[in-house]
Amino acid sequence: MSESKDFLRVRVEEDLESGKYQEVTTRFPPEPNGFPHIGHAKSICINFGIARDYKGHCNLRMDDTDPTKEDTKYVEALKDAVEWLGFDWEGNVRFTSDYFPKLYEYAVALIKMGKAYVDSLTEEEIREYRGTVTEAGKRSKYADRTVEENLALFERMKKGEFKDGAHVLRAKIDMSASNMKMRDPLLYRIRHVHHYRAGDTWAIYPMYDFAHCLSDYIEGVTHSICTLEFENNRDIYDWVLDTLGLTTPRPYQHEFARLGINYTVMSKRKLLELVEKGLVSGWDDPRLPTIAGYKRRGYTPESILNFCDQIGIAKANSMVDVAQLEFAIRDDLNTKVPRVMCVLDPLKVTIENYEGSEVLDAPYYPDDVPKEGSRKLPFSSTIYIERDDFMENPPKGYFRLTPEQSVRLKHAYIITCKEVIKDKEGNIIEIKAEYHPDSKSGSDTSGIKVKSAIQWVSANEAKKVEVRLYDRLFKDESPEGLEDLNPDSLKIIKDALIEPAVIVEKPDERFQFERQGYFYADPIDYSDEKPVFNKIVGLKDSWAKKKQLPRRASKSETKKVQIDGEVAPMSEVEQSLFDKYIGELNLNSEVANTLARDAKLSGFYEEALSHHHSPVGIANVVANEVARELKEKEVNEVKFNTKQIAELVKMVDDETISTKIAKQVFEEMINSGESPIKIVEAKGLIQISDPAIIGPIIDEVITKNPENVEKFKAGNSKLLGFFVGQVLKATGGKANPKVVNELVAKKLK
RNA sequence: UGGGGUGUCGCCAAGCGGUAAGGCACUGGUUUUUGGUACCAGUAUUCGGGGGUUCGAAUCCCUCCACCCCAUCCA
């Protein structure tokens, strides 16, 4: 785990420490209407991970409130995904549909409180009445039905007496709320549809906003973690729980940014489209970012877990580079998986001076992987090497076989090219070579230096295998649609050649094909007669990188131009205030502007001024510190008053306290409402300006940090702040920073 | 346009008034019978822009800009 905690864990810890909850309970609440993808994996890691880290619980809950979309096959896929990632949901899988009876009771309770009503507007009318983001909506005429009427109607809705869409149950909140979600949200709709689990018992189904918060509550969830797009729904979440009087301990919703990865798509809609149009082979197509896809491709659960851990959790919309995922799987497999040799694009090599055959012993793992194991490797005069590993006219820096350059056959001998055989078209079809008998791997006395060792297979013993090479599904970094599909996302090699041990011994299901990448025996199509391997990910290839030298020359460095918008003009009153502040009171224009434009602040300012005439000092405190407190609160809601602020500024003016201490005192005033003079007295915060006291403290800091002294003297002037900070810390902030600054600068010279 | 969010290196992401963490990617170098791995080194005088407060600002204040979400009887 990374050393810094994410904001969710910080929050959970706070809530546990404050005693808000005894134990943390989270939940992973997917709707079973599609296959889970790696975005779900992130959510799974967060929810189950937090439960694990804080010894709490995490439920797996199917949020199945829309019978038209959900299906059992998706719940199975969801369960598989959670299990595969190694998490345990303790007990049964939960289903929102199991709570339908309870949910119905809550709805009735809301109706009885007069907080919900049956609306009979048409769908279009409801939309119209909702208004727009800038215009308020208007309430339906059905909103003032009596409680009895609503109860009766709702009961009949439940019994299935009405057609779909005839009525809905809505919360009675506020049709002019600036949050659109709060404009009398729908709670229940009529659906004469078979539910994959609840069967035909219900004719009405709850909406997400009603069901979700209550399901959380029913399960004793403490932290309801969801993605950013639900931020607007948080108000309803709280409204439902609050108005139903469902108090402590109750769940609260927290949102994080969903995962985006480049060169792929993550939305269920787009994934479904790919599957349904047959553009991929199914939900488990190895090119898909679905859990089933990664699993089929050969990714390990550990690699996905590590990936999720590495990308972190935050609230900024982001697009993670696939390279990060690819790193995670390489990193995991590197230490786990046997190395074997497979030739994808075979080129025949005849070793003319070799006779007979032999069997070499070759370790499965390189020296830097602490694992044991080896296999028998047949060698003979006819072998195949990778077509790429021979070049007749090599570019500079080519390390492999050429007419002039020998190579080592990995685990075997060094060979030298003697002749290049071509067909009529001039294609190379065979290499005639010679081997060096005294260059045998492990007992090489030949003294020949080669630049690389390449993979090969012996022609007679090699097995034919199918290898499926996968590449990114889309050619565009952030694909818009099907037109961005990568036409080369799948390449099938029907007759690759692999060393026999892989097929006969089956030492593992995942391998590194030496110098090529990591591969996985396809769990479905693989058979002994017809082995099939999926490419999981390629090895990093700095040679390939070097070849595509034409670095993107034009970096198209279009420095974004910042456009400055219009600043709203001041009203006449504000303008005259502004003029007065600048002219009479000598404030700088920025502070004057802040004060003049805010009636609350200017009122506060002028009153404080009447207690202590220090126009600039008070203005600065009001415009910078008081402003923060008055953003969300009214003057009478705040614990401090103008007189106290005046006193505070007076102490700064007298140099009784430093501005740094003044801020600290102000914080205290916000919380306690205590007078600043008392706070300073009680805590002994009077400023220390005497160099005789400060000097020794500085000396101590200097002797404790010899390295930083060096750096400072070497020219790192930023460190002045470090020393000043240390001294201030040592004096509890009381040292006069100006004096400290001067003294430190002098002493370090 | 009203409301709710978010802007720190090419990509993620810490940081919450006192020396700009870390990972991926990238660039050198060392080791290497994988052009892999491992290891070492390098990479933000600067935190969306502009002002202000402060001895000191990525962090506090003001202001502007950009992007995302919300007007499904989806979740």
- Residue A553: pLDDT band by 50, 70, 90 thresholds? very low
Nucleotide nearest to A716 (CA to C1'): B19
* CA separation, residue A117 to residues A107, A179, A362, A564 (Å): 10, 20, 77, 48
Lowest-pLDDT range of A168-182, A226-240, A629-643: A629-643
Nucleotide nearest to A517 (CA to C1'): B36
Cβ contact A164 with chain B strand, < 7 A: yes
- Tokens at A607, concatenated: 């009153």
How high is the pLDDT of residue A710? Answer: 84
**Residue-wise pLDDT tens digits, A521-543:** 999 999 999 999 999 999 999 99
How high is the pLDDT of residue A64? Answer: 98
Among residues A607, A570, A630, A612, which one has the least CA distance to residue A578? A570
CA distance A333 to A335: 6
Among residues A218, A255, A259, A206, which one has the least CA distance to residue A235? A255
How high is the pLDDT of residue A554? Answer: 35
**Residue-wise pLDDT tens digits, A600-614:** 999 999 999 999 999
- Tokens at A33, concatenated: 């209407």
Nucleotide nearest to A131 (CA to C1'): B71
By percentage, how much of chain A surpasses pLDDT 90?
91
pLDDT (average), residues A632-638: 91
Among A139, A258, A348, A747, the one annotated catalytic = A258
For chain A residues 543-562, those near strand B by a CB cutoff of 7 A are 543, 545-546, 562
Nucleotide nearest to A723 (CA to C1'): B18
* CA separation, residue A612 to residues A639, A645, A653 (Å): 19, 9, 10
CB A24 within 8 Å of CB A50 = yes
Nucleotide nearest to A725 (CA to C1'): B18
CA distance A143 to A156: 18
Q: Residue A258: exposed, middle, or buried by beta-carbon count in 10 A (0-12, 13-18, 19+)?
A: middle
pLDDT (average), residues A237-259: 96
Q: Check whether A714 has a pLDDT greater than 90.
A: no
> How distant is C1' of B37 from CA of A368, in Å?
7
> How distant is C1' of B11 from CA of A262, in Å?
10
Q: Check whether A209 has a pLDDT greater than 70.
A: yes
Task: Look up the protein residue whose alpha carbon has the minimum distance to the C1' of B12.
Answer: A311
Cβ contact A126 with chain B strand, < 7 A: yes
- Residue A556: pLDDT band by 50, 70, 90 thresholds? very low
The amino acid sitting at A609 is L
pLDDT (average), residues A500-525: 98
Q: Residue A304: exposed, middle, or buried by beta-carbon count in 10 A (0-12, 13-18, 19+)?
A: buried
How high is the pLDDT of residue A323? Answer: 97
Task: Look up the protein residue whose alpha carbon has the minimum distance to the C1' of B35.
Answer: A543
How high is the pLDDT of residue A726? Answer: 92
pLDDT (average), residues A509-513: 98
Among A5, A11, A52, A268, the one annotated catalytic = A268
- A258 classed as catalytic: yes
Protein contacts on strand B: list nucleotides below 7 Å from a Cβ. 1-8, 10-27, 32-38, 45-46, 48-49, 51-57, 60-75
Among A27, A31, A183, A255, the one annotated catalytic = A31
Q: Check whether A111 has a pLDDT greater than 80.
A: yes
CB A669 within 8 Å of CB A679 = yes
Nucleotide nearest to A733 (CA to C1'): B18
- Residue A709: pLDDT band by 50, 70, 90 thresholds? confident
Q: Check whether A261 has a pLDDT greater than 70.
A: yes
Around Cβ A545, how many Cβ atoms within 10 Å? 9
How high is the pLDDT of residue A211? Answer: 98
Nucleotide nearest to A67 (CA to C1'): B74
What is the rounded average pLDDT for all residues in chain A?
Answer: 95
For chain A residues 45-104, those near strand B by a CB cutoff of 7 A are 63, 65-66, 69
How high is the pLDDT of residue A552? Answer: 39
How high is the pLDDT of residue A560? Answer: 63
Q: Check whether A557 has a pLDDT greater than 50.
A: no
CB A305 within 8 Å of CB A85 = yes
Cβ contact A40 with chain B strand, < 7 A: no
**Residue-wise pLDDT tens digits, A716-736:** 878 889 999 999 999 999 999
Task: Look up the protein residue whose alpha carbon has the minimum distance to the C1' of B67.
Answer: A317
Q: Check whether A558 has a pLDDT greater than 60.
A: no
How high is the pLDDT of residue A663? Answer: 95
> How distant is C1' of B30 from CA of A452, in Å?
18
For chain A residues 264-323, those near strand B by a CB cutoff of 7 A are 310-321, 323
Nucleotide nearest to A398 (CA to C1'): B35
Around Cβ A26, how many Cβ atoms within 10 Å? 28
Cβ contact A339 with chain B strand, < 7 A: yes
For chain A residues 227-246, those near strand B by a CB cutoff of 7 A are 228-233
How high is the pLDDT of residue A564? Answer: 84
- Residue A187: pLDDT band by 50, 70, 90 thresholds? very high
* CA separation, residue A749 to residues A13, A65, A740, A744 (Å): 46, 72, 14, 8
Cβ contact A380 with chain B strand, < 7 A: no
How high is the pLDDT of residue A1? Answer: 39
> How distant is C1' of B56 from CA of A201, in Å?
69
pLDDT (average), residues A563-584: 91
- Residue A550: pLDDT band by 50, 70, 90 thresholds? very low
Q: Residue A225: exposed, middle, or buried by beta-carbon count in 10 A (0-12, 13-18, 19+)?
A: buried
**Residue-wise pLDDT tens digits, A287-301:** 999 999 999 999 999
> How distant is C1' of B68 from CA of A229, in Å?
9
CB A111 within 8 Å of CB A152 = no
3-state helix, strand, coil in chain A (%, to 5): 40, 20, 40
- Residue A687: pLDDT band by 50, 70, 90 thresholds? very high
Q: Check whether A555 has a pLDDT greater than 50.
A: no
**Residue-wise pLDDT tens digits, A19-61:** 999 999 999 999 999 999 999 999 999 999 999 999 999 999 9
- Tokens at A154, concatenated: 């709702």
Cβ contact A42 with chain B strand, < 7 A: no
> How distant is C1' of B48 from CA of A562, in Å?
9
pLDDT (average), residues A91-111: 98
* CA separation, residue A489 to residues A22, A345, A473, A475, A586 (Å): 50, 18, 5, 9, 69
How high is the pLDDT of residue A559? Answer: 54
pLDDT (average), residues A551-565: 56
How high is the pLDDT of residue A569? Answer: 87
Cβ contact A440 with chain B strand, < 7 A: yes
For chain A residues 465-484, those near strand B by a CB cutoff of 7 A are none
Cβ contact A659 with chain B strand, < 7 A: yes
How high is the pLDDT of residue A610? Answer: 95
ipTM attached to this prediction: 0.97
**Residue-wise pLDDT tens digits, A402-420:** 999 999 999 999 999 999 9
